[in-house]
Structure 1
C-alpha cells in the first residue's frame, strides 16, 4: 500500500509542477497578449491617422489639379490674346506707316505747289 501512496504522491507532485508551469505559461501569454493588444491599438490609431492625412492630401491634390487646369486655360487664353493683339498692332502700324508716307508725299506736293505760285 505504501507503494501505491508513494506513487500517488509522486504523480500529485508531478501534476502540481505541470499545473504551475502551465499557470506561468498562461500568465506570460496573457502579458504578451496585452502587449500585442496595445501594439494593435497603436497601429490602428496610426492607420486611422494616415487615412485621414491621405484624405486631406487627396482633397488638396484635387484642388491643385483644378487650379492647374484653370491656370492652363488662362495661359492658353492669354497667349491667344497676346497673338491677336500683336497682329492688331502690326496691322495698325502698317496703316500708320501708309498714312505717314502720304503725309510726307503731300508735304512735298504742297511744297512744289507753293514754289510754282
Structure 2
C-alpha cells in the first residue's frame, strides 16, 4: 500500500473488485485441490529423485564375484564410495539439512 504509485493503487483496487465480484464462481475447494495436488507432486518428485543405494548395492554384489577376502573387501569399498558420494551430494545440496549439521566440514566426514 505504501510502495505503490497512484496508478498502481487504482489498478490494484480494480483487480480486488474484479476478484471479489467473480469469487463466487470459482469454489475455494477447487483452487485448494489444485494447490494440494501441486504440493504433493513436488514432494513426490523429491522423494522419487532421492538416491537410494539399494539397487546399486545389489548390482555390485551380483557383479563382483568371490567369497574370499578380496571380493568382500572390494564390495565393501565400492559401497563405501557410493555412500560417500551420496553424503557429499546431500551435504552440498543445502546447508540447512541434517546431513550438513552432522558433517559441517570435511574433517567431520573423514573423522
- Assess same fold via TM > 0.5: no
Structure having greater relative contact order (Cα 8 Å, sep ≥ 6) = 2
Bigger proportion of residues as helix: 1
Q: TM class by shorter-chain length?
A: 0.3 to 0.5
Please identify the structure whose Cα radius of gyration is greater. Answer: 1
